[in-house]
Structure 1
Amino acid sequence: MSPTAPPAAPAPRITYRAVLGSPYVARLLGGTLTGRLPNGMAPVAILLWTTASGSSIAFGGLLSALYGLSSALAQPVKGRLMDRHGQTAVHLPAALLNSALLVALPLTGPYGGPGLATAIVVAGGLTAPALEAGLRALWPSVLPDPRLRHAALALDTGTQGLLYIAGPLLAAALASAYSPTVALIATAVLGLSGTAVVVLAPPSRRWRPTPSAGDRHGAVGRLTSPHLVLLFVSLTGIGFALGAMNVWSIAMAEHHEQDMLSGIIPAAFSTGSFLGGLVYGSRTWTGPTADRLITACAAFLAGWLPLLALPGPFAATAAVAVPGAFLTVVVACAYVSTDALAPAGRTSEAYAYLILSIGVGQSAGTALAGRLAEQPLAIAALPAAGAAFALAVLLAAHRQLRPAEHRPRGRHRRPLRARHETPS
């Protein structure tokens, strides 16, 4: 009899220390978070500068909304440019223009009037670097081990909610201690410095996409395939829930005459998202990603249902941490599904469309919630309505999403250096 082979040793457990200790991970993640901090700072700084300059809050709110909307709408264009020309050629000029426009706003605004201020703000949003999509495209080349990549994606996704806590607080603190102009300058400096940290890193400088199989028309067809379209449509429901929650938190603050609630409730939600991401990324999961996505979306929906009981401030703050904990899982699974469904040479653009889908839904949720702000039950139900829409679309698309898990994915089986890097 031949000797029995010893059982294979179990794979070592993945830790966040191992992830952050991998080459370039901490640099890329830290640089991206710093470079994206202006996403949370700029709208607040623009609003505070507008009102300090003598304009109305309504006009300041319009400028803030235009900055966010123009930034979201330009994401796919910048993603496609990255897929064609690499990251450095897109990120660095965008960051330079964005920072210059933010600094120019307080210098030219008083002389050009509302029209010039609006043009500068829109141009600033259009030139905001697409760092989030770029980072997601880098992970496969930086972390060839899928388990490390899974943990990095969860950590990346979980921390992004914290940007929208720290960013507004930092902008408000600088405006209060110094002036709104200083807040705008700091926003520009942070955005440019964070982007520079990323684009000067070797993985970003050397990254190149894998050309898609087939002709260019085939690649476009795959990017607009029903699989991806349904996934992106479902994510508008996730964004809708987020936008409605922000307005609902303000309505709660006004109803209970506790101004801090407008910040505390989103902070509790983002904290839940961060902690949920840490737990999700620290475990190894089996089974199709599409199934995990649907399960997480169902839990995300269930987490909003307690709001229908119109809870008080403390209960409401605790309640929103539950859907927050599942948001990271939903978004992380959505990125994995997007990677499986998108053509090899269009991943950055596909990620950008994912971000745009959430942003469009968020804008719609904010707009509708604003109209229903005087109706407590209606506004409390909007986050659950958005989550229910997302779940319904995912369930309808389940058959189309799941087979992607089992299709050959040649681009991930190629040597990673050949796919994503060229000699510097």
Structure 2
Amino acid sequence: MSLTTPSTPAPRITYRAVLGSPHVARLLAGTLTGRLPNAMAPIAIMLWATASGGGIALAGMLAAGYGLASSLAQPAMGRLMDRHGQTAVHLLAALANSSFLVALPAVGLRGGASLAVGIVIAAGLSMPALEVGLRALWPSVLPSPRMRHAALALDTGSQGLLYVIGPLLVAALTAAYAPSCALIVTAALGLVGTAVVALAPPSLRWHPAQPTSGHAGSVRRLTSGGLVLLFAALAGVGFAIGAMNVWAVALAEQHGQSMLSGIIPAAFSTGSLLGGLVYGRRTGKGTTTSQLIAAGAAFLAGWLPLLAVLGPGAATAAVIVPGAFLTIVVACAFLTTDTLAPAGRTSEAYAWLILSIGAGQSAGTALAGRLAEHHLASAALPAAGAAFALTVLLAGRPHLRPAGHLPGSAGATARPQPEAIAPEHKPNTASMSLT
């Protein structure tokens, strides 16, 4: 006669425990501080350009150039980290980025618009890939998968605060001093935050995972069918965010309430933070893929009330819902990327994911700008982006799993897909390689 003891449920993970783990608070605070320039620099550049007599057209071109350059540079930064580690890459990038931001007001427009454009693009290209680096550090900092799950959710959700605090800080510095002061403070915050992360022991010790014997060639192949589909879906998510920002401006002009252009994105970011806090404490049921698709469906459903052409108060409340599910979509997308990316290329894969969101956001902003005068079409664009993302996820579901779980993959060996937690090891091969 055998006796069995009922299994004891795992204790609930608390954010106090996560933040109290060695290095976690430092890495998270440093990354958020170092990434403030993402939210501050475009606005500070625009205010500086207009105050210097450059005009709104030049100001917009400079801000767009900075944002596009910083997005395009992320995969290259990720690959450099995979080859040379994080500390040197982070510090050199931060020094260059800060130097260019400080040089912009120092040089001014005396050298002409072309010189200003060159400085801004150089600053964007040298933006440190702190978000990519932090995601790569979590497995070495938090060995427990459940702790990593909570840290990833907290990390993802708290990013919305950057786009609430950053613009307000730029506005305050510009009003109290000058736009050039805002640029200098932006450069200083980026440098200090990056140094806090880059000189932390986990960053100093970090080295990318190496392919095991017999799979050394896999490190040369990054893109797989599953990753391409995932990145395409995340571009749809970014499209929804970009379209929402323009819709908020259009709604503010329609109702004569200029503050709405900032209040609505702030409400969306608040929803993202709250969603991350809730999601991080719950492991959930099902695989990461099923949670990704379910969150994508909820993200789409959250945008549908906007089709009723809501008033200011209702619209502000409505965007909290898709904001809450954005964190879950992005967190699950990072876990899926971690599962599909070959060993030694994880940081670069994370960077492509971030680039996909940024590219989609730019496309959503551009199209929404052309349709801003058509209120119903403007309100429908976020839902259209979310619908595209969900469609791609549903169509590509069989390929969003490790190689051993793809239909018809004979003889492949891969770890089972995680139950919505960060994987312990990476598969050594990626199926359906395209490059």
In structure 2, C-alpha distance between the alignment counterparts of 1:281 and 1:385, rounded to whole Å: 28
Task: Name the aligned partner's letter for residue 289 of structure 1.
Answer: T
Question: Gapped runs of 5+ residues in structure 1?
Answer: 416-424
Structure 1 residue 224, shift from structure 2 partner: 1.1
Question: Whose helix fraction is larger, Structure 1's or Structure 2's?
Answer: 1
Farther off after superposition, 282-291 or 249-258:
282-291
Distance 1:198 1:354 in 2: 21
Note the C-alpha offset of 1:217.
4.9
User: What is the alpha-carbon distance in structure 2 between the residues aligned to residue 131 and residue 25 of structure 1?
Assistant: 14
Q: Return the offset for 1:110.
A: 3.0
Does structure 1 retain, via aligned residues, the 8 Å contact 2:145–2:424?
no
| 1:234 paired residue number | 233
Q: How does 1:341-352 map to 2 (within 5 A)?
A: 341-352=340-351
Equivalence for 2:269: 270
Q: 1:408, CA displacement in angstroms?
A: 2.7
* Contact 2:46–2:60 (CA under 8 A) maintained in structure 1: yes
CA separation in 2, counterparts of 1:359 and 1:265? 19
Equivalence for 1:174:
173
In structure 2, the residue matched to 1:307 is 306
Counterpart residue number, 1:201: 200
Say whether 1:30 aligns with 2:29. Answer: yes
| Structure-2 separation of matches of 1:8 and 1:398 | 33
What residue identity is the alignment partner of 2:288? T
Once the 2 structures are TM-superposed, how far is the Cα of residue 405 of structure 1 from its aligned partner?
8.9
CA deviation map 1:11-36 (0-9, x unaligned)? 21100000000000000000000000
CA separation of 1:323 and 1:82: change in aligned 2, threshold 3 A: same
Cα pair 2:90 2:129 within 8 Å, conserved: yes
Larger CA deviation: 385-394 vs 403-412: 403-412
Amino acid at match of 1:32: T
Q: Is this contact kept in 1: 2:164–2:266, CA < 8 A?
A: yes
What is the CA deviation profile of residues 259-304 of structure 1, one whole-angstrom value per residue up to 9, with x for unaligned ones? 0000000000000010011000011223210010000000000110
Q: CA deviation at 1:6?
A: 3.2
Query: What secondary structure does 2:275 align onto?
Result: helix
CA distance in 1 between counterparts of 2:45 and 2:14 reads: 40
Aligned residues: 413
Q: Tell me the TM-score normalised to structure 1 length.
A: 0.95
CA distance in 2, matches of 1:412, 1:344: 13
Q: Aligned in 2, Cα 1:217/1:66: closer, same or farther, shift over 3 Å?
A: farther
Residue type matched to 1:408 in 2? A
**Structure 2 residues not aligned, in runs of 5+:** 406-412, 417-421, 427-435
Counterpart of 1:408 (choices 392, 396, 414) is 414
Alignment root-mean-square deviation, CA: 1.7
In 1, Cα distance between equivalents of 2:242 and 2:297? 19
Matched, 1:103 2:113: no
The one-letter code of the counterpart of 2:351 is: A
Residue 357 of structure 1: CA displacement?
Answer: 0.2
Q: Deviations over 1:141-168 (max 9, x none)?
A: 0001000000000000001111011111
8 Å Cα contact 2:101/2:184 also seen in 1: yes
CA distance in 2, matches of 1:351, 1:259: 36
The 3-state SS of whatever aligns with 2:110 is helix
TM-score normalised according to structure 2 size: 0.92
Summarize deviations over 1:215-253 as a string: whole Å, max 9, x none: 6653333x1111100100111000000000000000000
| 3-state DSSP of counterpart to 2:211 | coil
Q: Specify the alignment match of 1:318 in structure 2.
A: 317
CA contact (8 A) 1:340 1:404 kept: no
Conservation of the 8 A alpha-carbon contact between 1:98 and 1:188: yes
Q: Give, in whole Å, the separation in 2 of the partners of 1:216 and 1:301.
A: 40
Distance 1:40 1:404 in 2: 38
Contact 2:142 2:148 (8 Å CA) reproduced: yes
The equivalent residue for 2:249 is 250
What's 1:81 paired with?
80
Q: How far apart are 1:57 and its partner, in Å?
A: 1.1
The amino acid of 2:261's aligned partner reads S
CA change 1:321–1:109 in 2 (3 A) is: same
Are the structure 2 counterparts of residues 110 and 402 from structure 1 closer, same or farther at C-alpha, using a change threshold of 3 Å?
Answer: closer
1:55 alignment partner AA = G
Contact 1:71 1:125 in 2 (8 A): yes
Name the amino acid aligned to 1:399: P
Percent pairwise identity: 71
